[in-house]
Amino acid sequence: MVEDKIEENIIRDNLLTDFIGKDIEIFKTINSTNLYLKEKAFQISDEGKVVISETQTQGRGRRGRSFYSPKQNGIYMSIFLKPDIEIEDVTMITVIAAIAVNEALEKVLNLKTQIKWVNDILYNGKKLCGILTEASIEAESSKVSYAVLGIGINVNEGENGFPEELKDIAVSLKSILNKSYDRNIIISEILNCFEKYYKLLNDKKSKNEILNIYREKLCMIGEIVKVIQGEIVYYAKVLDINERAELIIEKDDVKKILNSGEISIRKTEGK
Ligand code: BTN
């Protein structure tokens, strides 16, 4: 039978990390694992603490949106980090998390997924996982004082598991692979993969390798996408990402760099 509870001992048995997950806290319910770590930030001295919950009552997504977090069906976890980076490079945390989730799903489930810039993991165009990195900055140095990395994955939602507004855009591991999964094993592997890349963050050569892995998994290079920035909406072609994982796009023969803003892939060709 598949273990249907988050169990610290199973996660630990499969953990190969030095510091990520040395301290793990598990909740039955919580408002948001990201919020919890942000509130605790100044009481935590070491990085690597992991908080996981069976459900979230106020699961947070990017741009003030909520993240659907039903009981015992998903992975809702946050990692507390103290990266030695400037605020301009904070997107690299999301990048590393995205390739770690990708790699873990391939290792544990033999599942190949894609990345939608900057923080979604997709399967066949539907969202399987969302990532939210929230950071606090040191006022004098513009360095990151801490970052909270949140990862949410739809795991065991069945056929009718999503509410109306999500059912055409979200997907779960169970609906892809037709069986339930032990979330503990997936969690350990994500933490293992994440630490491996996180340790390389400050090495320039490794950073390029990380960006290359990310680039390979991006589902939108060469495609026409709809760019939505607040009230402004336009179509542009995605050319590449740069050394900060910002998106390089082209509109009317003019290149532009996107470091924020919402971007969605167009479904029809020809714009
Ligand atoms: C997004 O899709 O915009 C990002 C979703 C991030 C969801 C995770 S679930 C664990 C952590 N806690 C939260 O409140 N959000 C993140």
Q: 64 CA to middle of ligand 1, Å?
A: 10
HSE (side-chain half, CA atoms, 13 Å) at 51: 25
Q: Is the CB of 36 under 6 A from ligand 1?
A: no
Q: Is the CB of 107 under 6 A from ligand 1?
A: no
Distance (Å, whole) CA 69 – CA 196? 27
Q: Whose C-alpha lies nearest to ligand 1, atom 7?
A: 152
Give the CA radius of gyration of the chain. 18
% of the chain exceeding 90 in pLDDT: 81
Taking the CA of residue 120 as reference, the ligand 1 atom at the shortest distance is 2
Residue 187 has pLDDT above 80, yes or no: yes
- The gap between the terminal CA atoms of the chain, to the nearest Å, is 50
Q: 252 CA to middle of ligand 1, Å?
A: 35
Q: 165 CA to middle of ligand 1, Å?
A: 17
Q: 139 in the Ramachandran plot: left (φ > 0), alpha (ψ -120 to 50) or beta?
A: alpha
Residues 7-40 have pLDDT tens digits of 999 999 999 999 999 999 999 999 999 999 999 9
pTM over 0.75: yes
Distance (Å, whole) CA 214 – CA 16? 23
Residues 107-125 have pLDDT tens digits of 999 999 999 999 999 999 9
Q: 78 CA to middle of ligand 1, Å?
A: 8
